[in-house]
Amino acid sequence: MNQRSLIFLLAIIVTIASVSTNIYLPALPAVREYFDATIAEAQTTFSVALLTFAIGMLFWGPLADRYGRRVAILAGVGLMAAGSLACLFATSLIWLILGRGVLAFGTATGIAVARTVVSDLFPDRMARTLAQLAIVAVVTSASAPVIGGFLTSRLGWRSVFGAQIVMAVVVAWLTWKHLPETRPATTQPPAVLEMVRVAHRLVNKPLYLSCVLQSSAAYSMFVVFISLAPYVMVTAMGRSATEYGLYYPLISLGYVLGNWALGRFSARGQHWMIVFGASVQMMAALAAVAFVALGLHHPLWIFVPMGVLYFGQGLFMPHLTAIAVNMAPSHATGVGSSTLGFLNQFASAVCVQAMGLVGAETAMPMLLFCAVAALFQLAVIRLSPRLETRGRAE
């Protein structure tokens, strides 16, 4: 398999998590109505999945280090299919939550292991390769809310899980047929205790912790917005689930353009890219808050600034990921990826459930959250030494 085809395959593997999430989001209001649940109760189907996804991120990377990248991906998509099947036939909200949890745990293998494969093959240009992956993955997953909205409107919310079973089967076949094993054959797989020690050492490094805090803040903005926006669209704005799916690609377009710009501005250095991207993110979040405060309630006044916000994230997220993962020793890069992913997802799960309690009668709470999180990231950057300087010191 040539390099371009391999990157495309890795992008598909990465996409299983985002597609699984995005195709379900338009169904959230329908799930809430079907089970006669509150927003906070319905949000549990999302926040629990984030938590099990976080645990999966912690699990799949070390498993890939010990038993191989292909084994980890095939096992993960198997669990994805099993969880989707449980959701398809769920008779209560509890069973739906459990099925979503198993499903999300399985999909975590995509991001955790694909990052490790990129680190195996392209260690010297990981950020740019991750950006290439993200462009393909974001374009692919951008269609998921449209499909999810269409399926929910025409066939009911359960149909989105039938689609996910089909996706799991396709990814398993592609992995089995075409993905090479990239775990170095000469490298002794780390023992469990060694993996724990590596994770502990990484978290205690100021540079790694800075990457964790920044990426957690950015990712929390993303999941809080995409999980609450469907309620805002349906309940506060009187729009349909399908219409939410039609506006969602503005977010994907912003992130893709940010990833594209990353390659154009790479000569300016990682620190400049991170600071500039975080600044764009802050200004976009404040603009969205201002538009809503002024009484401008059309979806475009929310989704356009959020698209700009994700343009900023597209500039800095691949750099934060590359810096963090490359700090792990070569025999345990999966641990570096999984630890970062676990902490990002855990923080996001807490934020999503907390914001579910706040409610979604208007767009203001979720937009204020994004502004505060963006300000927090800029504070972390301000209080931290320049990332590239600290990286050389480490």
Backbone angles phi, psi at 141, to 5 degrees: -75, -15
Length of the chain: 394
pLDDT one digit per residue (tens) for the chain, 394 residues? 677 778 788 888 888 888 888 899 888 889 988 999 888 888 889 889 988 988 887 788 778 877 888 899 999 999 999 999 999 999 999 999 999 999 999 999 988 788 778 877 776 676 677 777 777 777 777 788 888 888 988 899 999 999 999 999 999 999 988 887 877 665 555 666 777 787 788 888 888 888 899 999 999 998 888 888 888 887 777 777 667 777 878 887 888 888 788 877 777 878 888 999 999 999 999 999 999 999 888 889 999 999 999 999 988 988 888 888 778 776 666 677 778 878 888 888 888 888 877 776 788 999 999 999 999 999 998 887 654 454 444 4
How far apart, in whole angstroms, are the C-alpha atoms of residue 111 and residue 60? 9
pTM recorded for the entire structure? 0.72
CB 202 within 8 A of CB 339: yes
Beta carbons within 8 Å of 388's beta carbon, 6+ residues apart = 269, 270, 271
| DSSP single-letter state for residue 180 | P
**Domain layout of the chain by residue ranges:** 3-178+190-393
Backbone angles phi, psi at 142, to 5 degrees: -65, -25
Residue 365: burial class (beta carbons within 10 Å; 0-12, 13-18, 19+): middle
CATH code for the domain defined by 3-178+190-393: 1.20.1250.20
Residue 169: burial class (beta carbons within 10 Å; 0-12, 13-18, 19+): middle
| DSSP single-letter state for residue 330 | G
CB 310 within 8 A of CB 258: yes
Q: What is the CA radius of gyration of the chain?
A: 20
Q: List b or e across 188-208, with b for residues whose CB sees 16 or more CB atoms inside 10 angstroms.
A: ebbeeebbeebbeebeebebb
